[in-house]
Amino acid sequence: MNQLLPLFVIVPLSATFLIMIFGRFFKDFNKYFASCVLLFLVVLSFYSMISLNGGLSLYKVGGWQPINKIPIGIYIVMDGFNSLIVCIINLIGFLVVFYSISYIKRYTAENYFYALFCLLIGGMNGVVISGDLFNIFVFLEISVISSYALVAFGVEKNELEASFKYQVLGGLASFLILFGIGFIYWKTKTLNIADIRAAFSNGYDKKYYLFVQLLILSGFGLKAAIIPFHAWLPDAHSSAPSPISAMLSGVFIKAVGIYVIIRLFFNMFEISEGMAILITTLGTISMVIGVFLAIGQWDIKRLLAYHSISQMGYVVMSVGIGMILVSRGLKPEVASLAITGGIYHLINHAAFKGLLFLNAGAIEYTLGTRNLKEMGGLAKVMPVTSATSFIASMSISGVPPFNGFFSKLIIIIAAILARFYLLAALAVIVSIITLASFLKFQRYAFYDKPKNPMGSEVKEVPFPMVFSMIVLSILCLLLSLLVIPSVREVILAPAVNILTDPLKYSTFILGQ
């Protein structure tokens, strides 16, 4: 057993309590302690991914062994897929919490912010590494409850309204998920993901099976804000403090939404063509409608929030294409390429969208506005913010040599090879509209004449904010290296293999 795996949950949850206790007595303890905790988790994440070496790792909480080959304990599992997601969560989390050292000073109750942030990280880590449905749900609730509070952290009217809407729809999503888990347990008498697959493979009622799949897809689709489940996202992401917006958009909707959908539909359910087509359709609709909703926005953070819907559409569509091919038993190499493109774009999105929200936070921190019509001329007075936002804008728009270009290229090539020519064309068109949207952002924020005279107080943001933006911009360039086959084989191939060969996952779990 891998004794390090529980630390992904134990460390951030313990940090939450320590911050609440010692933060009351020691000034600035919370911000530096939270940064150290996240830095430790970053090191642990990358060490765990490297040590896997393409295999799987397991920890049985309490040491409970299977009885008659039935797993009865809580299993914590790490493989090639969720190790990537854990690295994303903790790396972006560290950069965001370091950025917050300066940004969050404008708010009261910093102690609560850092405690809730660690709770959010612990919940997301728990969702990703849990090997059973019930603990996915438990950690899901830990993460979403802390996110409700963080969205409302400014306690202004807009923040409270956005948080309330988020809670209502989040509560509905949790109900659907718990309902689906209950139906699965009723039929299979187990909650372990690998064991559920084994139980379902022995025969099942197709209508019952389809009903359960729709419940799970609807619940986690709400968490991922896939259209038509997206109503909460624009308000929540735009109202939250910018570091939290970066976490929600760059990491949260992936960890508690997209990741779980991909994991369950590949490693727990048998892939059916009808469900694969439905998932691909939802991804395509999200990709197209999201970008059209974004292009008319003048509030920077709302513009970015709608683009999150669109970019996640790329991921879901690409993975859906892979699912269709797998269900038909056709072109396994193209199916692997489509899934690779989806996962690659998932990683890229965390970097460039996290960076864009930090850029928006830097502009709001300096000017006190998010309205593009009230900006202009910032390139001269905020050179780092301007340069990093340009890199992020080109990345999300799919302009070479930035990372977004290569993941979108793989998705488009996979769609063409799979003969989904319409989807490939839509992906290109959406990328062009995305570029138009971000050229508007660059022009109005940084290069137009200032709409209002800028005083001497308009200058570059403090070092912690600059540091996080620079690191993420470098990451947008470095992630382009994943297009190199030898690099892709080491980092992305283990994730694709565990999804396209579900028996590898279930055999390992049930054989331990």
DSSP code at position 240: S
b or e along 263-286 (b: 16 or more beta carbons within 10 Å of the residue's beta carbon)?
bbbbbbbebbeebbebbbebbbbb
Q: What digits encode the pLDDT tens for the residues 32-68?
A: 999 999 999 999 999 999 988 878 888 888 778 777 7
What residue type is assigned to position 106 of the chain? R
What phi and psi, each to the nearest 5 degrees, are found at residue 76? -110, 125
Residue 309 scores a pLDDT above 60? yes
Residue 512 scores a pLDDT above 70? no
Q: Is the dihedral of CA 199, 201, 207, 213 positive or negative?
A: positive
Q: What digits encode the pLDDT tens for the residues 157-204?
A: 888 888 888 999 999 999 999 999 999 998 888 888 988 888 887 766
Confidence band for 509, pLDDT divided at 50, 70 and 90: confident
Write down how long the chain is.
Answer: 512
Segment 98-105 mean pLDDT: 89
Segment 330-352 mean pLDDT: 93
Paired with 395 in beta bridges are none
Which residues, other chains included, contact 95 with Cβ-Cβ below 8 Å and sequence gap of 6+?
A: 354, 358, 468, 471, 472
DSSP code at position 154: T
Q: What digits encode the pLDDT tens for the residues 236-262?
A: 888 888 899 999 988 999 888 899 999
Average per-residue pLDDT in the chain?
89
Confidence band for 96, pLDDT divided at 50, 70 and 90: very high
**Residue that is written with structure tokens 């994991």 in the block:** 263
